[in-house]
Amino acid sequence: MGSRIIFLRHGQTAANIKRELDSRPPGSPLTAHGQQQATAAGEALARHLQVTEGQLGRLGKIVHSTATRARQTANLAAESLANSVGLSVIPTPPEEIAGIHEFSAGIYEDSTTEEAYRAYIGAFQRIMRGDDSAGVPGGETGAEFLDRYLPALETQFDTLEPDQDLVVVSHGAAIRMITARATGTEPRHMVENYLDNCDISIVEPEGRPFGQWNLRYWVSDELLTQPWIKQR
C-alpha cells in the first residue's frame, strides 16, 4: 500500500441545515452537532490510519481549506485522533492551505432557492463527467476549479514520506468532483451515494496520472463493491 489521500468533509453548519449555498471562505462555523461529528471523525481516521498506542500510524500531515468549518473540523478531528492513541496533541498540527475550498456558487452564494440549488448541482455534475467549461454565472468553471485545487493537493502529497497518508479536510462538492475526476469513477456513484458531513473518501495515486488513481474508500467499505468502481 502506497501513500494515500484521505478526504474528510467538514462537519455540519447552519448553512447545511438551511440548504444554503455557502462556498466563499470563511463561511459558516460548525454547529454543536458538527463539532461532535468532527470529534467522531478523529476516531474514524484512527482506523484508516492504522494507529497504535502512542503512534499515529500512516499519518503524514493534516491540511484544511481556508473555510472556518474546515479549520474547526481539522482541529477537532486531530485532537480526537491524538487522544485515541494517548497523545496530548498531534506532533504536526493541522495546516491551512489555499486552493482546496469549495466549488464556487457564484451569483447563487448564500441562496436557498430551488433554482440556485439545481444550477449549482447541475454544474458540478457536468464537471464530474469531464465538462471543464461548466460552472454557474459569476462562479468558476471546472477548468478553473481544477487549476487551483489539483496543484495545491499534489504539492502537499509530494511532501509525504513513503506509505504516509495526507488527510485533506475539504468540502462536499469539491471532494466529489476531485474524486470522480481523479479516479475515473462513474459520477453517479458520487451522486447516488451521498458524501455527508464528516464522511470520508480515500484515493491512492500509486504514481499514476491524474484520472487513473485508485478509489480505495467511499463513505463505507460496502460501497466499493459497486460495478462502476474501476479496479486497477
Each residue's pLDDT expressed in tens, for the chain with a length of 232 residues: 789 999 999 999 999 999 999 999 999 999 999 999 999 999 999 999 999 998 999 999 999 999 999 999 999 999 999 999 998 888 889 999 999 999 999 999 999 999 999 999 999 999 999 999 999 999 999 999 999 999 999 999 999 999 999 999 999 999 999 999 999 988 888 888 889 999 999 999 999 999 999 999 999 766 555 655 565 5
Instruction: Determine if the pTM surpasses 0.85.
Output: yes
* pLDDT on residue 30: 98
Q: Could you tell me which residues are beta bridge partners of residue 62?
A: 167
Question: What is the Cα–Cα distance from 90 to 104, expressed in whole angstroms?
Answer: 32
Question: What is the Cα–Cα distance from 199 to 108, expressed in whole angstroms?
Answer: 25
Q: Contact, 102 vs 174, CB < 8 A?
A: yes
Strand boundaries in the chain, DSSP class E: 4-9, 59-64, 95-96, 165-170, 200-204, 214-218
* pLDDT on residue 186: 86
Cell numbers at residue 16, please? 447545511
Helices (H), 109-141: 114-128
* pLDDT on residue 225: 57
Which residues lie closer than 8 Å to 127 by C-beta, 6 or more apart?
Answer: 103, 134, 135, 142, 145, 177, 181
Question: What domains are there in the chain, each with its CATH number?
Answer: 4-225 (3.40.50.1240)
**Helices then strands, each counted (H, E), the chain:** 7, 6
* pLDDT on residue 223: 57
Given 3-state DSSP classes, what are the helix, strand and coil percentages for the chain, each rounded to the nearest 5? 40, 15, 45
* pLDDT on residue 231: 57
